[in-house]
Structure 1
Amino acid sequence: MGPELREYGMHNSSRRSFLRTTALTGAGTAALGLVGAPPAGAAGTASTGSSSAGTTSTGPGVADPARSRRPDAESLRFTVAVMPDTQYLFDDRSIRPEPVEAAFRYLLDRGGEENIVFLAHLGDLTQNGLPHEFEPIGASFRLLDRRGLPYSVLAGNHDVDSSTDDQRGSTPYLDVFGPQRFRRSRTFGGASPDGYNSYHVFRAGGRDWLLLALDWRPSAAGIAWAQGVIRRHPASPVILTTHELIYADNYGEEGRFSEFGARLWDQLIAGNDQIFLAVNGHYWPPARVTRKNAAGRDVHVHITNYQDRYYGGAGMIRLYRFDLARNTIDVETFSPWLLAKDPARLNVLERQEIERTGAQDYFSVPIDFEERFAGFAPVPPRPARPARPMLIRGTVAYWRFDGAHQDGSPVGDGERVADLSGRGNDLTKVSVPGSPADALTWSAQHHPDQPGHGSLCFRGNKNPLRGAHLQTVPSAPLNTAAFPDGYTVEAFFKLPAAWDAGQNGWAALLSRWGLSKEAGKTQGDPDEPVATLSLSPGRELQWAVYPVNLPGPVTNWGHELPLDTWWHVAVVNDGRHTTMYVDGCPVARNPATRATGLSTLGLPWMLGGFAYGGKLDQVLHGWVGDVRIAERALRVEQFMIS
């Protein structure tokens, strides 16, 4: 838009896993290429109006399959690029395509590294909407056509008669960027009968995403068409792009809806929970706002436009880097054209415009994607899995706490938790004298990837010592097991929000009775137990054991874990070295010390209890889910979490 239209606009203006992720799912998988997946429907065949109806042009660009590459559609990290108003670079006889083409080459060259899945132009491609302006920018877009990077365009007020809506009929814009241009695009889903509104479906993060590209002034028919497209893709998150939506008078202010933007919000955005992100150009300075839709969920609305800056915006692009594992979209704005120049030859203004780092140009958007999309594409909870498949070769103990127990009911003093491996390593309850009956209760809470949908809730306390734990029966074979050929110990657990470092630190998930000095160990603390999987006051997991082959201890350390979150821990020894994993990911502090087997005095194991100096010292405060012990090293894909 130009300054005169900026004045017009101001005068009339009255945010675990959807994808459940572990180390097994490839959050860090290398991106492979550039081209999106096929749309839900063939190009030009949308039931709401063929995108090619009445058109005969073959279009200027056809993707070269030999040069096209697909992005990694399953990676949890991908990028959507946005290009705002380029009108000052295509202004009558002043044609400057170099910044735009430099941006396109950047996207093509970095497509694999960035896992770029799509580019959306926000309108005002040209200044005057003239044929000799559209011809060169149409030629620039052929760079993307030839290499198969999918993109969308839409008409801005400078591309068409700004007093008209999408029923305006034929225009130079439609001749160059009408539906016929996209007939070979793998993402193109179709267009409204008038050709001015279109949609694309691209595959990223293991799902389909719908992008709407709406005209400068969609009519009632255009909005109805968009509503129909969303209705036919009921499980797809929607990114809406249009030319005008929000504006701000000054940099740093929260964006406000223009008169037309408010109407589009009321008529389309607010009532469609699938629309979570809307981006427009037209106005400057850049701004953003988050609004609640009719379902009470966040819609993030951004304006990005830099035509007012040096060299008509210098082909500025904005990258929306989606990270579904981190539940974040990281946003960056820069000019690839200026970035590619020799730094020694940059002029004063070019140095200032290489990248925009203000709060409205360089920021992150936190979005819990699973929660945000739950209203239209809920992730079904993983069902409970039978115990038998968990009894893989080498399983010597398997305890789970689901079944016919009432949530919150106390574990009875005479109750016995059976070892489902059939090895006889059953557990019985041991209470600290004076502890309340609910010091140990059955719970329906569980890790989302846990086989058994239940847990035990321990309410331990150190000073004064209170609580109850479980321990193996005296006849349990596990009591004498030394694991000379290796082992795997797994457990699901959660620490409550009220967990206190002073009262609850150093409690154990699983530990073994018996002092290191009684096991003949001459190094380390003589009063320590021979094995313990504990949590430090800093909420760091600690596997501290006295191996058979060493006179002293070997310790694996985890990292600080957030409270009120379910975790899976696995400790794996292959007969030589021990590795700790948290949610299937190896921790950093895994010692290289050769460690073989576990020392034993033939005494019981404790679940939720920790002894020091031969006496019970601490009881866990938190939840413990399924626990499994195997007498061999398991691979990550064999863990219960997988």
Structure 2
Amino acid sequence: MCKSDDRPSHESAGQSRRGFLRNAALAGAGTAAVGVGGAALAATPASAADAAAGGRTGESRKPGVWTPDTTALQFTLAVMPDTQFLYWGSQDSVNRAPQEESFRYIIENSGTPGNNIVFMAHLGDLTEDADPSSFQEVDKAFALLDSRGAAYSVLAGNHDVTGDDSRGDTPYLRTMGPQRFQRSKTFAGSDPTGYNTAHVFQAAGRSWLLLALDWRTTDQGYAWANEVIKAHPRMPVILTSHDIVASPYDDNVFPYESGDPENNAVLSGNGQTAWDRLIDGNDQIFLTLNGHYWPPGRTTRKNAAGNDVHLHITNYQNRYFGGGGMIRLYHFDLVRNTIDVETINPWILAQDPESRSELAAEHARISGPVDDFSVPIDFEQRFSGFVPIPVRPARPAAKELVKGTLAYWRFDGQGAAGTPLAAGQTIRDLSGRGNDLTVVTVPGTAADALTWSDDHHPDQPGHASLKFTGGRNPVHGSYLATGAKAPLNTETFRTGYTIETFVSMPLDWDAGNNGWAALLSRRGSAGTAGKHGRNTDPGEPVVQLAISNNGREPQFNHYPLNTTYPTTNWGHGLVEVKWWHLAVVNDGRLTKLYVEGAPVVDNPNRVSVGLTSLGLPWLVGGHEYAGAVDIVFHGSIGDIRVVNRPLSTKEFLTAK
């Protein structure tokens, strides 16, 4: 290891020390290529996930067998940095046990929920002295991975080799060169020197490319790496090398005392070369990993495309027992759009806790801010430059008129985005049942309080919405209402119903001014309808699908025909500037609220038959209290459909 000025802290043989799914299938597509004079390279399509990396698709796994789940949207990349102090053969100092225990952990945790390790990347400096005897021992340790068919990569560090990747034959190359990976299902090829290799592994239903570059890569090596990326144009790329970013703070200063723990690494001289010749111009590279320097650290830089590249150092050779084969686990979660990172020592964890020394106990898990952290990444958006996010086309209204549709309102093709709707303007009911909507404007409201918009939920049939700018204190805005004689006004839905809509709230949504505004409500107060008893508010409408003032939670509050008091379904908080699909389904007995096709936790197990009606109009974006409109919605509302029977989630407007 050397600090950023590359001064040797230890000399040996003249050497110095030291970042859906919907488009997953597309992501696996790639073109076969031959790397500049090197071994043939071919992308493994995601449809071949079972074959690649010995993948599995859900069957139970056998202990001690490499069986990663290649379809799960949560997976782990294991990273092992500088293990050099375990292999100093020329000094008769070799101890394979820590590394082999880590290898056993990696194998045992391939495919297990919570870990699902799919690949292991070693970051170089496998040995201290590059001696053939050291590599003989390294060979024995890695044979454990080979015997189980584990997927992994290695690269040469400055303690394994001298010079750059044009150096020719070495004990490293004879032991860990391309010939070692000929039977590996993830090996995609090497450059002519054999010191730079490419690996394609399967995870989350797509293909991922990992490049393992020599500690000193020449122009031909970078040319080869660029060609490999070009040959796999839809794959996210993880770049590993021994020396990319360095630590600007000293060993005896805790990272949280040295400034921002999320930005405490800088490009080294070699890292700047890698950035200029490879990383900056290849948007597919979203994460780089290196060892060599310590303490650990990380930083984020914008590439030429304006996207984040996460650059991390992980190295524990200066810790107890030379790191003891410690591993960094990168837990990718494509559901939560996060990489959770933790650092553990399987060798110590395998020991009886009562027998561990104080130092060992301290190093079983490393939990500092540079060792245990999370990296938020919107994977779909980050990869959209090379795997475009597919846009679901609009669907004709006729295809959404399922049996029992009583009303279907949508807002496409009726006005240019940003232009206002005037009072009295009509929006037709596309069901043909005559439940047309008319714009109603609260006196004193601005002319642009209700406008057409082309914003919409990605799975919404109509690619448009209405943007409401309403509120209370004082009441202002425009809303819509069915006509006085609309058939929907008297419908009581005794045998069940489904109500669906799409909603998005802006960042300026305010609980005091906008809370309890309704997306859809039915005029007529509970008191006038003769309702009374527990939880009854005599002034509230008999039916309302609203957004509460407490964390923007959707609420369906309704007075059934069979009770004098309401049934209320509550959803979880909805974040702003995101489209949400809401559905209320009643099967003639029970009512359930769904958010994005998932039932909410607070769906009462209470018999609720039908919906009370006073024969009055329905309101879209309006809410009345004690017979008068008291608030108008603030946000956007998309397609609305009302059906006189319960629909399954497969029949929702969002169904594929």
Q: Give the TM-score normalised by the residue count of structure 2.
A: 0.88
Q: Which residue of 2 aligns with 1:111?
A: 110
Structure 1 position 391 matched with structure 2 position 390:
no
In structure 2, C-alpha distance between the alignment counterparts of 1:94 and 1:4, rounded to whole Å? 28
SS at match of 1:118: strand
* 1:139-150 aligned within 5 A: 139-150=140-151
1:381 aligns with 2:394: no
| Structure 1 CA distance for aligned equivalents of residues 95 and 217 of structure 2 | 30
Q: Is 1:64–1:147's contact at 8 Å kept on the other side of the alignment?
A: no
Cα-to-partner distance string for 1:563-582 (whole Å, 9 max, x where unaligned):
22221111122222222121
Distance in 2 between the 1:554 and 1:275 partners?
52
* Counterpart for residue 130 of structure 1: 131
Q: Tell me which residue corresponds to 1:551.
A: 564
Report which stretch shifted further, 296-305 or 64-73: 64-73
Aligned counterpart for 1:536 among listed residues 531, 548, 567: 548
Alignment partners' CA distance in 2, 1:159 and 1:95: 15
Instruction: Give the letter for the 2:133 counterpart.
Output: H
**What is the CA deviation profile of residues 334-379 of structure 1, one whole-angstrom value per residue up to 9, with x for unaligned ones?**
1011111111110111011101111111111122223322333221
Q: Distance in 2 between the 1:430 and 1:338 partners?
A: 70
Contact 2:53/2:202 (CA < 8 Å) preserved in 1?
Answer: no
Deviation at 1:507, TM superposition (A): 0.8
Structure 1 residues 430 and 38 mapped into 2: Cα distance closer, same or farther (>3 Å)?
closer
Per the TM alignment, residue 318 of structure 1 is displaced from its structure 2 partner at its CA by 0.4
Deviation string 1:19-78 (CA, Å, 9 cap, x unpaired) is 469xxx9xxxxxxxxxxx999578xx734334389xxxxxxxx99999766533333221
Deviation at 1:3, TM superposition (A): 9.6
Structure 1 residues 141, 603: CA separation in 2 closer, same or farther (over 3 Å shift)? Answer: same
* Unaligned stretches of 5+ residues in structure 2: 42-51, 56-60, 259-263
Report 1:64-463 matches (<5 A): 70-92=67-89, 93-112=92-111, 113=113, 114-160=115-161, 162=162, 164-248=163-247, 249-250=249-250, 251-252=254-255, 253=258, 254-463=264-473
CA–CA separation in structure 2 for the residues paired with 1:583 and 1:363: 29
Alpha-carbon distance between aligned partners in 2 of 1:263 and 1:437, rounded to the nearest angstrom: 58
Instruction: With the length of structure 1 as denominator, give the TM-score of the two structures.
Output: 0.90
Identity %: 54
Structure 1 SS opposite 2:457: coil
The equivalent of 1:33 in structure 2 is none
Within 5 Å, give how 1:434-513 maps onto structure 2.
Answer: 434-513=444-523
CA contact (8 A) 1:486 1:575 kept: yes
1:525 aligns with 2:527: no
CA distance in 2, matches of 1:604, 1:471: 6
Letter in 1 for 2:122: H
Q: CA deviation at 1:271?
A: 1.9
For the residue of structure 1 that corresponds to 2:34, the secondary structure is coil
Q: Report what 2:36 is aligned to.
A: 48
Shift of residue 4, structure 1, vs aligned partner: 13
Alignment partners' CA distance in 1, 2:172 and 2:607: 71
Q: Distance in 2 between matches of 1:176 and 1:102?
A: 21
Q: Structure 2 counterpart of 1:48, which letter?
A: V
Contact 1:99 1:337 in 2 (8 A): yes
SS of the counterpart of 2:623? Answer: strand
Structure 1: state its 5+ residue gaps: 26-36, 54-61
Letter in 2 for 1:211: L
Structure 1 residues 548 and 432, CA, compared in 2 at 3 Å: closer, same or farther? same
- Counterpart CA distance in 1 for 2:466 and 2:125 is 61
Moved more, 141-150 or 397-406: 141-150
- CA contact under 8 A between 2:35 and 2:228: conserved in structure 1? no
Name the aligned partner's letter for residue 139 of structure 1. K
The letter for the 2-side match of 1:159 is D
Deviates more, 1:244-253 or 1:341-350: 244-253
- What is the root-mean-square deviation in Å for CA atoms of aligned residues? 2.7
**Structure 1: how far apart are the matches of 2:626 and 2:5?**
80
- Compared with structure 1, are the counterparts of its residues 70 and 39 closer, same or farther at alpha carbon in structure 2 (3 Å cutoff)? farther
Residues 1:63 and 1:602: Cα distance change in structure 2 (over 3 Å): closer
Matched residue type, 2:539: D
Change (3 A) 1:394 1:180: farther
- CA–CA separation in structure 2 for the residues paired with 1:395 and 1:12: 75
1:229 Cα deviation from its structure 2 partner: 0.6
Deviations 1:268-299 (A, max 9, x none): 21222221111101121111121222222221
Structure 1: how far apart are the matches of 2:102 and 2:482? 66
CA distance in 1 between counterparts of 2:309 and 2:541 reads 54
Contact 2:503 2:579 in 1 (8 A): yes
CA distance 1:51–1:542, shift in 2 (3 Å): same
